[in-house]
Structures are given as C-alpha cells and as structure tokens.
Structure 1
Amino acid sequence: MQTLPLQDTRRMRGLGLDLGLWIAAAPAAFVLSGGLSDWQTALAYTAVSAVLKAVLLSQSDLTRHYVHFFSTSGIRGLLRTVALGEAMLLVGLLLLRALGLGALPITVPLTEGLLALAFLLGIRFLHRVQTEQKYHKASAGQRTLILGAGAAGQLLAREMLRQPNSVLRPVGFLDDDVQKQGQLIVGLPVLGSIRGNIGAHAQAVGAERIVIALPSVKGENIRLIHDEAKETGLGVQIMPSLSELLVHRPQIPQLRDVNLADLLRRPPSQLVHKEIGAYLTGQTVLITGAGGSIGSELARQVARYEPGQIVLFGRGENSIFAIQQELLEAYPNVPQTAIIGDVRHAQHMRILFERFRPQVVLHAAAHKHVPLMEDSPSEAIYNNVIGTRILTALCLEFGVRRYVNISSDKAVNPTSVMGSSKRLAEMIISVAAQSAAPDQAFMSVRFGNVLGSRGSVVPTFIRQIEAGGPVTITDQRMTRYFMTIPEASRLVLQAGALAGNGKVYVLKMGNPVKIVDLARDLIKLSGRDIAIKETGIRRGEKLYEELLTDREKVDETSHEEIFEARLETPDPEWLEAELSRLESYAREEDYVHVREQIRRMIPESHLGAQ
C-alpha cells in the first residue's frame, strides 16, 4: 500500500483539524444566538455548511502553516477564507427568508465567523508556541543567525535542530523575501531583511555566530553581506556555493569559513552532461600535467563520467602520486594508471601511446610562470612548444578522437615568453587539425587565471598574510580575469564536447578583477591589519589581460559560456620551418634569437628584448 509523503500527511491532518473547528463553530453560534431550540434546523445548517467549508479549505493553502510558518500573511488568508464562507452562508439565509422557506437568525453566520476565527487562530498560536519550545530546547550550542530562509537555510536549520549535540543552535533567519519576513519557518522567526539589518537583529536575538546560507547568490552580493556580517564582530561561516553542491552533492551541506572564491562567485556553469559523457565514458583518457592544479581537477571531473581508463601523466612524482591516491579512494571502480614522464621526450611519449592507445587527450602540461620563463625562455619553448608538437603528432598518428589543449589569455598579444609559447601551441594544434581524420577533433581552450592554483597570486598573498605582511602587488592598476579551478575544468570538458576541429575556444570569464582588490579581500577575510606594498611591474607582465586581439572576432557556440575565436591558420610548411629554427635557438640557449624568432612568428606580440 502506497503511503502519502510526510508533507501531504501533515497537510491532510491540518485540513481535518481546520474543518472540524470551523464546523464546531456552527452549533456554538446557534447556542449564542439562542436558536438551538430548533435542533433539526441547526443540524441541517451545520451539515450543509460543512460541505461549503470543506471546499473552501481544500482550495486554500492555509494548512501549509501547520508545516512551515504562520504569521501576518497567514492571518490575512484565514480572514479571506472564513469571510467568504460566512458571506456565502449569509446570502443563502437571506434568500431562504425571501422565499419564505426559513427564519434562521441572521446573527448565526456572523457569530459563527467570529468563533471560527478564534478557533483557527488559537490552534495556530498553540502550534507555534509548542514548536518554538520543542526546537529551542533541542540544543545548547552557539546561538546562530542564519542569513537566507530558502531551501538551503531551512535544510541547515533542520539539521542543526535534529542533532541534540550540535555546536550551533539556530535562533532565527534573515531573508530579503518580504513574504517570509515576520513568519515562522521550521519553528524559527524570519526577523527581517538581510542588508542593513544584520547587526541589529544579531544583537536582538543574542546571536553568537552568523551563517550565510545563500548558495546561489552572486559573489558581489556575498561580498557585501559578508562585510556587514563581519562588522558585528561575530564568527561568520558560509554554506558551499551551488556549483560546489552540484559537484560534491553532500546530503547535508558542510559549513566553512568564507573564502575568496565566495566573493568572486558566479552562477554555476550549465553543463550538458550527455554530450560530455558521449566522448569520455568508456574511453581511455590521457591527461598530461595531471599533477598540476588544472590537470588534477580535470582528472577528478573525468572520473565522474566513468571512463574506461585514466592515464595520469606528469613530471612531479609527489603530485602525481597524490591525485592517484585521491582517485583510488573516491573512484575505486575507475581504472587508472600513473606514469612519470615528460612531454618533451619523444620516445617515451611514443611508448606511452603504443601502450595505452588513448582516445581522448587533455593536454595540461605547461610552464606557466611568466617571470620565471622570462629568465629561462628555452625551458618555455622545450615544454610548451616542442612538447606540444610531439604530443600533437602522436595524437594524429594514433587516431586520438578528441584532443584538448589548455591555453591561456596570455597568448593574446603576448608580452612574455610564456604567453608567446602558448600562442605557438595553439598554432601547432590548428595546423595539425587540417590533417585530422573526420572522426578526430583537435582544439585549444583559452581562459584566464584560476583561483588557488599553485604559485598563483592568491596562495602568495595568503602566505604573506600569515607571515604578518606586507602583501606585495606589482601595480595598483593591474587587473586579471579569474575563475575557480573546478569551474574552468568543467568548461574545458564542455568545450571538448563541442568538437570543433581546429578551433580555439574562449571561456566567458566575466569582468576583470583588480589584483589590489583581491589583496584587500584576503586581508579582510583574515581579520588582520596588513599593509599592501607596491613593487612595480615585472618583466613580461601586462597591466590588463585580454582574451582576444583587436583583429580576432568571436562567434557564439551552443554553450553560452564558450565562444569560438576566429583565427587565421598559418601555412603548415611555414610553421614547421619556423618551429625548427626556434627549436634550434632554444637548444643553443640563444635567448636573443629565441625572442627575435618569437616576434617573427607572432607579429602581434610585444615581446621585449633580452
């Protein structure tokens, strides 16, 4: 026998209770109106009116207030329903009188309405008092004010109340939905709106902690809310963003401290999982640079689509071992192999391809540090250019069906050796795509900085803050595009599903962020007073990054966050000859000619002299 859901069962009980109380108001009204002597008429009136009351109650939403909350909007709804019912009964009595079919006291519907309101409001008041007492005795933890009374906030509050030993005890909500303000949700009052009221409401309820339960709110609003909450001097925590919840799918969201990703939060990317799974599920996927920030996250994301095998390839044995162990624990049913090696070693790469025969290659191996590559330009050429050329040739030879190269916004109008090397890698793949078979697709994906990647600005700032400062920035005017590592990785996989052979895809990065603002945000999150020091732009750096050159145009794709750059594809023979010359200069460690050759190959570059 199928049982009703708990919510429906409660609603039916509430409906029955409401109907019973309203029906009981009829004989009580007859007693007060002195008309109970004609008990047969009173009984007939009660029975007929019961049908009308049942219809009106079933069409209303009054019983939801037994489940969630009851306040001013509930009172208004109750008044409307009772008034409508009694008005219809009064009109009925007047018609019967006009037809000479009855002489019931007209005061009966009026008295009945007042009694019904007293009964129905009274039972709700008792329910509210009982609920508050039950919940407020449930835990002796820190008094916690929850910002956000939506589904996430309610789930969080219920879980806190369900655990008798919880370290947090919810005492109320704040929410900007005016329909919720002043009402009772899961036994807790919605005290008012969020912005401009956090401090006053926190003080009024004696809050000891504030939790932000707004997983779908944009980062710019989270920043404002967090700043106001911090001014109270209380501890502030946050629920994970919607994109984190979608990836990790915890049964109960885990609270954590607010971090920089929360302040830069964007709406979660909408992925077409069917398209991604179509080229990953059951396939052998080779990930180069699998121990790096992007490479390891790609491995995590790929594992969710149940590939036939993942080959983790990289130079750093410790980082490769770490991601291998993580995948073994999280995805024990996904076969995987970890290989230590270097994309620059052609023979090793050939043996790798002969052994595993990958159908999908995600190329994340690269040197990415701009200042370091300015002092070691040959290393950038060996790894990012020559290594990519070796890998691309093998992808052609072994019939790799999907080859995705991770590029960078620094490839646009490059001012550095690193950025130039990434543009050359794009050119190599675009040319190779001309020789690809119909079932192959070679492409590059271009995006900006990722938050928290090893050696990037955010970990550097955190280390400086922990050391007591100062936090160093190169220029107050400098801006960068930022994206979280999981978000960038997901969109890379989605771009791979577009399967545009020879294409360079550009991810929608949102608005650029001032580096000095990142530093200020991190300092504010730390709760410390740290100075910011300007050191001057380093060699090869830009003030402003770009995703396209002035000559490049973009076309929309089927995904709103991925665009296709319209680029000229170089002549294959010319590119091969120029790459050979560049490789020769790099092997001779002739840095002057390396830079000259790069400028010759990339006319739009602004690469300085040695």
Structure 2
Amino acid sequence: MSLVDSFRKKIYSGDNIVNLTDVRYLPRWTILLFDLVLLMFSIFITYFILSKLHIYTPQNFSSYFKYGTIIGINLIFMFLLRTFAGIIRHSTFVDLFKLLSASFFTLITLVIVNVLLFSFTKKTLLTTAFLGFYSVISFLLLFMFRLFVKEFFQIVRELKSSINKKRILILGIDEQAVAVAKTIIANHNLDFKVTGFLTKRTDSKRANLLGKPILLKNKFEKYSKEDLAIDGVVVIKDMMTKEEMNDWVNLFLEKDLNVFKAPSVEQMQDADSVKTIKNLQIEDLLNRKPIKIENDEIYSTHYQKSILITGGAGSIGSEIVRQVAQFSPSLIVILDQAETPLYEMELEMRASYPNINFKFVLADISNKHRLEPLFREYQFSMVYHAAAYKHVPLVEENPHEGILVNIFGSKNVAMLSSKYNVLRFVMISTDKAVNPTNVMGASKRAAELLIQSLQNVEGNTTKFITTRFGNVLGSNGSVIPHFKKQIENGGPVTITHPDIVRYFMTIPEACELVLQAATMGSGGEIYVFDMGKPVKILDLAKRMIKLSGLDLDTDIKIIFTGLRPGEKLFEELLSDGAKTLPTHHEKILISKDPCGEFSDIETLTNRITKAALRRDKVEVVQLLKIIVPEFKSNNSVYEALDK
C-alpha cells in the first residue's frame, strides 16, 4: 500500500487515523522528488556558506544552466545506481554506498565538465570550493533524509508495539542474559518490553546494558511491584542452580510478579524459538540434576538387540522407548492395551526413528497365550516391564482388576522371560509398594516379591531387576497436570490433606535410572533412587497458582477433600526391615528387602488370581495381606480385615 493509497482509503472509509506502520513503502517517484528538493537545497546551502566565507563564485553562465547541469548530472547517476529504489525504512550499508558513489561520480563528472568548458570558452562553470562543498552537503542531506525516515518508522513501530506489552526485567547481566534481551528487543511481535536487568552482583550500580538500567537485588527487595513499574521477570533456567532458581522465584512471587522462562542462547538462534518465552512451570522448580548415566555400557547392552517394552504407550514406557531407540536396537516391540495411545506412539516413533525396526502390539499382559508367540518369534534380549494399573482409588475400588494386571500379568511376562532365556528383565515398581496402605501398592509389592523369587529358581538364566520410583512429573493422572487443569478452569484446587507430602522426579530421569539399572547387578536386586527432599503438596499448589499469575483465595481457592481410600500422608522408598547397599552411582542404592521362596509365593499368587477371576474383592484383599504382611489398609473399607 502506497502513502497516497493509504490516505485515500482512510478518507473514503471515514477513518481519519493513518497508521504509519501500515504504509508499506514510499513510491519511488516520491523519493526521487524528495531527493531533487534536497539537491536544490544543497546548492542554496553551498552558496550561503561560500558567501559567509567570502569565496568568489564566478557568474560566467546563467543560474539556470549551472543549476540544471549540477542537478541533471546528479540525477543521472542516481538513476544509474538506483539510489531511490530501496525501501527507506529498511536501508542498509548498500544503500549508503550507492549514495556515496552517486555523489563521487557527480563530483568527478562536474570537474571534467568544468575543465572542458574552460578549455573551449576560457570560462569556469564552478569553483573547486563550490564542487567540494556541494558534494559533501548533498550526500549528507540525502543520507540524513533516509536515516530520519528509517528511525521515524522504528520509533513509531516501537511505540505501537509497546502498547499492552508486559514490562519485564531480565534476570542476569551475563552474555546469555544480554543475548535474550537483544532478541526480545529486536522482535516486535513478542508481548514483552525489556525495561532493565536484575542482578545480585554489587559492581554494577551505575552501569547500563543496551541502554537499560541495571537493578541490584538489595534494592529490588525494597521496592513494591508498583514502585518497580514492571509486570514480570524473565529467567534463563540454564544460568543457575535449582536452589538459586527457587530463591529468586520465591522473591518474585512475594511481589506478585509473573515469572517467565526464556530458552537457552543456542535455542535463540532459531527464529521461532523466541516464541517459547512463557510462564515458568512448577516442573522447572522441581527438576533436579539428572543422573549421570554410562552411555557406553547402555549402548552395548541395547545395540542390535531385540527389546520388548510392556506398557510402552504410557508415560514411563513411552520415554523408555524413546531412549532405547537412540541405541540402535535391531527390534523394539511396544506392547500396550490402550489402543489410541499406542497408535499415537506408532506415529511418533516411525516419524522420529524411521531407521529403527518397530512392532506395535495391542495386547493385555494378563493373556499369556497372546504373549508367548511374541517371545517365541522375537527371542528378546531385554524386557522392560512398565505395564501396570497405578491409580490408587480405582484399584482400591476394583482390586480384582489390579491383581490380574499387576500380579498375574507381571508373572506372565516374567516367567516367559525366564522360559525363553531373556538376558535381563527390568520391572518398574513404585514407592507405594513400601509398607503399602492400598491395594495398588500391595499388588506392586507382591509383584516385586514374585520377580525376586524367580531369580533363584533352578535353571533360570534371566537377571530379574526391579526399580522403585516416586511420583513422576507430568505422568498421566499425576497431581501436577491435575492441578493445572483445575487452575485453567478457574479452580478450586482440591487437595486431600494439608500435610500430605510426596517425592518427585522427572520422566527422563526415571527412565535413565531404568536403563542404568538394566546394566547393573547380578539379578534379584531392587534399586531405589535418592530422590532428595519430599515436597508438600499444599506448597506445590500455592506456587502453581502464583506462577499462573493468579492470586490465592481471590482468583483460585484451595479446598481439602480428605484422604482418599488407601492414601497415606507420606511415601517411603525402603521398608522397615530393609537395608541398603551403595552402588557406583551415588544416587542409586540397592534395597535388600526380604524375599521368600518362589514355590510359596507362586501358590499364593495362583490363589489370589483365581479369587480375582471370581471378582471376590474381600478374598482378593485377604490373600493380598497374606502375601504382603506389612499391608495395612488406611481410610478404606478393607481396614476391617486388619482387625
């Protein structure tokens, strides 16, 4: 849209506001007209300066001839070099060079014309002083005109884009912080306006960065949100430790400021990555330093091997699939009973790893006749057993279903692994299996006992390994996605008890532990993970509400619903009678839980499976309490069985 078209449209539409940033370009004839006026003005200024300096200007030719010659030659070179063809607001060094070249060639040509006229007529057209002053002045005016237009549009665009933008500080003053700030400032499509930098250093009291002030932490702490005149702070997660991040975030939340997370400098090289500047998530504060895994050993364990992953479409199972695929196995069989997640997993993996041989199997692990042909055909080297029912209230209400999957299903997969000489079998268990207070936890503990006892069966060559986890961030049905949905829907956020606490770990971290455990031990071990300090769920909910930019009680309320059947206030990673042994990983321990004979456990698991098939809930739970003597029901209808 040209300037004239813009005005015409505004006039006839009845809108008398012309948005200059909508004008796409100045027409070339308009630029040329401006340039012509500036050339004439340059002649006037030159004459004015020379008169003040008392420098004589000969009047050998008429003014029309002199002006016409000067301007005509200048316009010829401007046409040849197309100095008027570029979009002024986007002028570059190339445009500046064109102007300089046009002025230089004009000067040389006028000198030649001057010499030729003197040779033939003995009269000079212009003095050397005039030519020198004119060349410099005309170039400067043409250049200043373009610079003015460019800066004018820049200012107008910044003024327009700053309306309704979030005013932010950048946390840090190092190269990463400056790089992030530069990207935000340069990208007018972002909803942020950088107003300054924030640092805990004390050697930057009067310094500026990118023309923005640097605010020291001790002063920042004294100001209120209104005094600071900002809406939030952008942090770069990779720049600090978890402890430093938590300290800063606590300070920001106390002042009711939004906290935003920027991508790393490497990611900022991608033009689209800056769009990922978004609200800091609670997961960013709970993340811990990942386990350092030994990739060489893991690689050799999986390279060109046939791998089975049960529950491969679930939260843990799908991440195990992704990590195992990196080690170029010969085959990955992904088994799950959930049709839609399995199909979505197939689409993802075939797109991400087109060179890996996958097979996706829709099956239930409680159906041994469906499983055995897979073991017979593919001769698995490794089995990762992640399939399980894990939701405490649902399994408490349907204990027979939990038994058929968590115990009988695990038994099927484990015994087939032993029968077909699988090298290593790794089962994913849970901290709820320790001193269980619910059917789900007790069923997982029973599966642990069964898996451990299989290790010592005569003729077995499979190494049976168990890994025991706490809660996994972002897994299906976990508390954080649940809280996020409640906050998005305007609340309330529901918590069962104000004192309930839980351990947390990330999905990749959990799966790195699984892969590492697959390479360790001689079989029969239960590996537990040093998960740091437990997190109070009430504190977690409060921080999530604040990180969402909302006020507790005003925008979102928290209500307590009471402990659910089988739920306890805190989870444990070790049973009361267990001892631990260290491994070469400081974060991984071996739990020496007591284990019975396979024949005894098999007899009980056969009985409880028959009771589950009869859907006799009471008998199922009674037998489960025999298999797992430490299982004491809590807040459940099955508490009567403990008496």
TM-score after normalising by structure 1: 0.70
Amino acid at match of 1:301: Q
Structure-2 separation of matches of 1:321 and 1:549? 39
Deviation of 1:543 after TM superposition, in Å, equals 1.2
Helix, strand or coil for the counterpart of 2:214? coil
Match of 2:394 among 339, 350, 372: 372
Partner of 2:440: 418
Partner of 1:487: 509
Deviation of 1:205 after TM superposition, in Å, equals 8.8
Partner of 1:148: 172
Helix, strand or coil for the counterpart of 1:191? strand
Cα 1:479–1:205 change in 2 (3 A) is closer
Matches within 5 A, 1:184-223: 187=210, 191-194=214-217, 197=220, 210-215=233-238, 217-219=240-242, 221-223=244-246
2:251 counterpart of 1:228: yes
Partner of 1:564: 590
Partner of 1:598: 624
Matches within 5 A, 1:160-171: 160=184, 168=192, 170-171=194-195
2:571 counterpart of 1:545: yes
2:376 counterpart of 1:354: yes
Structure-2 separation of matches of 1:294 and 1:180? 47
| Structure with the greater alpha carbon radius of gyration | 2
Deviation by residue 1:80-106 (Cα, 9 ceiling, x = unmatched): xxxxxxxxxxxxxxxxxxxxxxxxxxx
Q: Structure 2 unaligned segments of length 5 or more: list them.
A: 1-150, 634-638
Cα 1:594–1:558 change in 2 (3 A) is same
Structure-1 separation of matches of 2:371 and 2:246? 47
What is the RMSD of the two structures over their aligned residues, measured on CA atoms? 3.3
Match of 2:541 among 519, 522, 527: 519
Structure-2 separation of matches of 1:459 and 1:397? 40
2:372 counterpart of 1:341: no
Match of 1:175 among 195, 199, 205: 199
Paired residues of 1:191 and 1:201 also in contact (CA < 8 A): no
Structure-2 separation of matches of 1:329 and 1:194? 47
Deviation of 1:236 after TM superposition, in Å, equals 3.0
Paired residues of 2:429 and 2:467 also in contact (CA < 8 A): yes
Deviation by residue 1:195-233 (Cα, 9 ceiling, x = unmatched): 761785998997565211132534454344234335666
Partner of 1:578: 604
Equivalences, count: 471
Paired residues of 1:237 and 1:257 also in contact (CA < 8 A): yes
Paired residues of 1:308 and 1:335 also in contact (CA < 8 A): yes
Partner of 1:265: 287
Cα 1:216–1:253 change in 2 (3 A) is farther
Deviation of 1:598 after TM superposition, in Å, equals 1.5
Paired residues of 1:287 and 1:295 also in contact (CA < 8 A): yes
Cα 1:539–1:165 change in 2 (3 A) is closer
Helix, strand or coil for the counterpart of 1:565? strand
Deviation of 1:278 after TM superposition, in Å, equals 2.2
Deviation of 1:159 after TM superposition, in Å, equals 4.1
Helix, strand or coil for the counterpart of 1:312? strand
2:589 counterpart of 1:589: no
Deviation of 1:173 after TM superposition, in Å, equals 2.8
Helix, strand or coil for the counterpart of 2:615? coil
Matches within 5 A, 1:111-130: none
Amino acid at match of 1:540: G
Amino acid at match of 1:211: V
Amino acid at match of 1:210: V
2:346 counterpart of 1:324: yes
2:468 counterpart of 1:446: yes
Helix, strand or coil for the counterpart of 1:443? strand
Partner of 1:305: 327
Structure-2 separation of matches of 1:476 and 1:568? 34
Amino acid at match of 2:345: I
370-379 or 600-609, which moves further after superposition? Answer: 600-609
Structure-2 separation of matches of 1:471 and 1:599? 34
Deviation of 1:292 after TM superposition, in Å, equals 1.1
2:497 counterpart of 1:475: yes
Partner of 1:157: 181
Deviation of 1:365 after TM superposition, in Å, equals 0.5
Deviation of 1:238 after TM superposition, in Å, equals 0.7
Deviation by residue 1:14-65 (Cα, 9 ceiling, x = unmatched): xxxxxxxxxxxxxxxxxxxxxxxxxxxxxxxxxxxxxxxxxxxxxxxxxxxx
Partner of 1:66: none
2:453 counterpart of 1:431: yes
Deviation by residue 1:125-154 (Cα, 9 ceiling, x = unmatched): xxxxxxxx9xx9999465642113345434
Deviation of 1:571 after TM superposition, in Å, equals 1.0
Amino acid at match of 2:262: M
Partner of 2:410: 388
360-369 or 568-577, which moves further after superposition? Answer: 568-577
Cα 1:466–1:167 change in 2 (3 A) is closer
Helix, strand or coil for the counterpart of 1:579? helix
Deviation of 1:582 after TM superposition, in Å, equals 1.6
Amino acid at match of 1:396: S
Deviation of 1:164 after TM superposition, in Å, equals 7.3
Deviation of 1:283 after TM superposition, in Å, equals 2.0
Deviation of 1:256 after TM superposition, in Å, equals 2.6
Deviation by residue 1:298-338 (Cα, 9 ceiling, x = unmatched): 22222223322222110111101112212222222222221
Helix, strand or coil for the counterpart of 1:407? strand
Deviation by residue 1:531-555 (Cα, 9 ceiling, x = unmatched): 2111211221111111111211111
TM-score after normalising by structure 2: 0.66
Paired residues of 1:216 and 1:267 also in contact (CA < 8 A): no
Amino acid at match of 2:177: G
Match of 2:260 among 215, 225, 237: 237
Structure-2 separation of matches of 1:161 and 1:147? 15
Matches within 5 A, 1:14-163: 140=158, 144-150=168-174, 152-160=176-184
- Identity level (%): 36
Amino acid at match of 1:573: S
Amino acid at match of 1:512: P
Cα 1:162–1:358 change in 2 (3 A) is farther
Deviation of 1:160 after TM superposition, in Å, equals 4.0
Cα 1:159–1:280 change in 2 (3 A) is farther
Deviation of 1:398 after TM superposition, in Å, equals 1.8
Structure-2 separation of matches of 1:506 and 1:606? 22
Paired residues of 2:417 and 2:462 also in contact (CA < 8 A): no
Paired residues of 2:503 and 2:534 also in contact (CA < 8 A): yes
Cα 1:269–1:462 change in 2 (3 A) is same
Paired residues of 2:195 and 2:213 also in contact (CA < 8 A): no
Paired residues of 1:147 and 1:213 also in contact (CA < 8 A): yes
Paired residues of 1:290 and 1:296 also in contact (CA < 8 A): yes
Partner of 1:85: none
Deviation of 1:157 after TM superposition, in Å, equals 3.5
Cα 1:190–1:265 change in 2 (3 A) is farther
Paired residues of 2:331 and 2:356 also in contact (CA < 8 A): yes
